[in-house]
Structure 1
Amino acid sequence: MKFKAVLFDLGSTLIEYENHDWPTLGKMGLVNAYPYMKKIFPELPELSQFGENFYRNLRYILDNERPGYIEIDIYNACNRIFKRMGLALKDGLVEEFVELYYKPVTEQITVIPGAVEILSKIKKSDITIGLVSNSIFPEKFHLEEMENFGLREYFDFVIFSSSVGTRKPGKDIFNMALRNARTEPSQAIYIGDKFDVDIYGAKNAGLVAVWKYHKGRENPENIEPDYSIVNLGELETIILQ
């Protein structure tokens, strides 16, 4: 058999999160979470000012407080942001805020066509199937989404950067996956949609890399995948034949 392990990215590879752009989703999330915060902290500024402050701090954290490929999850980030705003945090506040903030995201996601079908075919071949995904959001959110779309049952293991503290394109998260799959890099294939994160990261770790087409993905460094596909069904030829 050509490959012993097939590893997938999640967002825009198996589940489409970008049915709205991320800035729009962020605004929707704040609109949903702001009344909860305003009720607890009546002194909060109006939504527009609160949102501007929140995103300025979040962007600073993601750009400047994640050295190397360290990941910071959304709970950690919100704790830092709210403390910088001078808010006295009570138990459970950040968790509730994140639940409300994320709700508009999960309400608009869709499964990528062909995802269940190709996972089912790979599973029947006894190849190990794993997930390696960058996300600042909690693993439990994504596992529920995968369950709702009928994807979870096909995976032997999942690795989310928010849970393990390291992210793509660093080698560490790919090496974790290889250890879980009990295979060598050359016997593993990775499918993802971002050149600088998925394709570069997988190839740098020694895996075979497949780029899943997604409109608007830029490739300024001209990173070359080993394979390119438009539809997930094309993986059958690459992996199973």
Structure 2
Amino acid sequence: MSLRGVIFDMGGTLLHFNPEGTSWEESEKIATGAVYNYLRTLEYTLLPEQEALDAAWEVTRNTWAGIEHADVKSLKLDMVLGTIAQGWGAADLPGDVYQDMAAAYMSAIQPHVRPLDGVYEMLDALRDDGMRLALISNTFWPGSVHVQDLERFGLTQYFERLIFSADAEAWKPNSDVFLQALDALDLAPDEAAYVGDSLYFDVWGSKQAGLRGVWIEQPDPWLPEGIEVTPDATIRTLPELPAIARDWAAVPDAPQVGKRG
């Protein structure tokens, strides 16, 4: 079928969330360090700081690695941070502390959020070509906070539907979250492409749901053992995408069997 819509990942695809020059691990330790300092102000007795940050990274990495089979109701920032804090020695936290931990974590990251190069050029071109656009983000954060980031950079105007996994309780690479976006755009799977920086969550996940998968090439691709995937297209920069989308949109639809003119 001809391409009619493009759905995007957010972090690493449209917006950077890691401070410039830092890895994902370093960025997580900046954010969990803010949580650690907050709990110290409440006089909780915690693990030594470096040990605590290393333990927090282990929880985060393991949570993401097992996300396909996780209880979706537990995949929310305050709950993940509660697990981390318990491992540090802070148990039986009152409800308002969970909220304040999440606020400390997000406040450490948000000043560093910035658009990827070429994002406006790319989105303008797709919109001018008549593509229907949506966004799906795997995120523990409340979607309202991400909407603030997107609005800050003038990006919400481009999308008909924004889906944030913690709110939707549906996560890539599982097909249900892709189908939610397709329903919102009134598209069949073979009429849409999904664009992201993860071979597993974005490309493998979208292809399992019947979409085309476009990979933003990364120096260290990661796939779980036993999974193989070939992107339908690979790009290095966002402005490469509209030409690919135009080529796919130009493919004539297959005739429908049994349909008469």
Instruction: Select 1:35's aligned residue among 29, 34, 37.
Output: 37
Instruction: Select 1:44's aligned residue among 40, 43, 46.
Output: 46
Distance change (3 Å), C-alpha of 1:236 and 1:40: same
Structure 2 partner of 1:196: 200
Distance change (3 Å), C-alpha of 1:59 and 1:186: closer
Instruction: Select 1:73's aligned residue among 62, 65, 76.
Output: 76
In structure 2, what residue type is equivalent to 1:78? L
Does the CA contact (< 8 Å) of 1:192 and 1:211 recur in 2?
Answer: yes
CA distance in 1, matches of 2:70, 2:209: 14
Distance change (3 Å), C-alpha of 1:208 and 1:140: same
Runs of 5+ consecutive residues of structure 1 not aligned to the other structure = none
Q: Judge which range, 75-84 or 34-43, deviates more.
A: 75-84
CA distance in 2, matches of 1:55, 1:231: 29
The structural deviation recorded for 1:191 is 0.8
CA distance in 2, matches of 1:45, 1:150: 41
| In the alignment, structure 1 residue 136 sits paired with structure 2 residue 140 | yes
Structure 1 partner of 2:244: 238
Distance change (3 Å), C-alpha of 1:131 and 1:96: same
Instruction: Select 1:229's aligned residue among 218, 229, 235.
Output: 235
In structure 2, what residue type is equivalent to 1:107? P
The structural deviation recorded for 1:106 is 2.4
Does the CA contact (< 8 Å) of 1:116 and 1:150 recur in 2?
Answer: no
SS at match of 1:158: strand
The structural deviation recorded for 1:130 is 0.4
CA distance in 2, matches of 1:228, 1:67: 24
| In the alignment, structure 1 residue 215 sits paired with structure 2 residue 227 | no
1:185-225: CA deviation from partner (whole Å, max 9, x where unpaired): 01111111111221111111111111112332246855211
Identity %: 25
Does the CA contact (< 8 Å) of 1:131 and 1:158 recur in 2?
Answer: yes
Structure 1 partner of 2:24: 22
Structure 2 partner of 1:127: 131
| In the alignment, structure 1 residue 163 sits paired with structure 2 residue 167 | yes
In structure 2, what residue type is equivalent to 1:240? R
1:159-201: CA deviation from partner (whole Å, max 9, x where unpaired): 1211112211111111111111111001111111111221111
Q: Judge which range, 7-16 or 83-92, deviates more.
A: 83-92
Structure 2 partner of 1:11: 11
In structure 2, what residue type is equivalent to 1:204? Q
In structure 2, what residue type is equivalent to 1:28? I
In structure 2, what residue type is equivalent to 1:44? L
- Between structure 1 and structure 2, the one with the greater Rg is 2
Runs of 5+ consecutive residues of structure 2 not aligned to the other structure = 248-261
TM-score where L is the length of structure 1: 0.87
Structure 2 partner of 1:172: 176
- 1:42-121 superposed matches below 5 A: 42-59=44-61, 61-62=63-64, 66=67, 68=69, 70-71=71-72, 72-82=75-85, 85-121=89-125
Distance change (3 Å), C-alpha of 1:67 and 1:131: closer
